[in-house]
Structure 1
Amino acid sequence: MPYVQAMSSTRTMPLGGEFTFPGTSIKVNRLGYGAMQLAGPGVFGPPRDVDAAIAVLREAVTSGVNHIDTSDIYGPHVTNQIIKKALHPYPDGLVVITKVGFRRGDDKSWHPAYSASDLTSSVHDNLKNLGLDALEIVNLRCGTSQGPNEDSIAERLAALLDLKRQGLVRHVGLSNVTFSQYEEARAMTEIVCVQNLYNVANRTDDPLLAELAKDGVAYVPFFPLGGFSPVQSSVLNEVAVELNATPMQVALAWLLERSPNILPIPGTSSVEHLRENLAAAKLQLSATMIAKLDGISGQSER
Structure 2
Amino acid sequence: MSTSTLTLPGGTWTLGDTTVSRFGYGAMQLAGPWVVGPPKDHDAALAVLRDAVASGITHIDTAETYGPRVVNELIREALHPYTDDLFIATKAGGRRDAQGGWPSARTPDELRAQIDDNLETLGVDSLDLVHLRLGDANGPVPEDITEAFETLVDLQQQGVIRHLGVSNATADQVAHAQSIAPIVSVQNMYNLANRWDDELIDQLAAEGIAYIPFFPLGGFSPLQSTALSTVATRLGSTPMSIALAWLLQRSPNILLIPGTSSSRHLRENIAGAALELSGEDLRELDDIDA
> Which range, TM-score by smaller chain?
over 0.9
Give the structure 1 partner of residue 23 of structure 2. 31
SS of the aligned residue for 1:177 comes to: coil
Of the candidates 107, 111, 127, which is equivalent to residue 135 of structure 1?
Answer: 127
Residue of structure 1 in register with 2:224 after alignment = 232
**TM-score, normalising length: structure 2:** 0.96
| Residue matched to 1:270 | 262
Amino acid of the residue matched to residue 249 of structure 2? E
In structure 2, distance between residues paired with 1:240 and 1:164: 44
Deviation at 1:196?
Answer: 0.3
Q: Quick check: 1:40 aligned with 2:56?
A: no
C-alpha distance in 2 between matches for 1:12 and 1:95:
20
Aligned counterpart, 2:168:
176
SS at match of 2:223: helix
Alignment length (residue pairs) = 288
Matches within 5 A, 1:1-302: 14-21=8-15, 24-298=16-290
Please tell me the root mean square deviation across aligned C-alpha atoms, in Å. 1.5
CA distance 1:209–1:257, shift in 2 (3 Å): same
Q: Please, which runs of 5 or more residues in structure 1 have no aligned partner? A: 1-6
Structure-2 separation of matches of 1:144 and 1:154:
17
Describe the superposition over 1:78-107 as per-residue Cα deviations: whole angstroms up to 9, x where unpaired.
000001011111122110100000011011
- C-alpha distance in 1 between matches for 2:33 and 2:51: 22
Q: Distance in 2 between matches of 1:251 and 1:179?
A: 23
Shift of 1:12: 11
Alpha-carbon distance in 1 for matches of 2:272, 2:12: 15
Percent identity (aligned): 53
Local SS of the residue matching 2:180: coil
TM-score of the aligned structures, taking structure 1 as reference length? 0.92
SS of structure 1 residue aligned to 2:9: coil
Residue identity matched to 2:147: E
In 2, the alpha carbon distance for the partners of 1:233 and 1:136 equals 36
Deviation at 1:11? Answer: 9.9
- Kept in 1: contact 2:111–2:152 (CA 8 A): yes
Q: Are the counterparts in 2 of residues 175 and 196 from structure 1 also a CA contact under 8 Å?
A: yes
Report how far residue 59 of structure 1 moved: 1.1
Name stretches of at least 5 consecutive residues in structure 2 with no aligned partner. Answer: none
Quick one: distance in 2 between partners of 1:15 and 1:226? 22
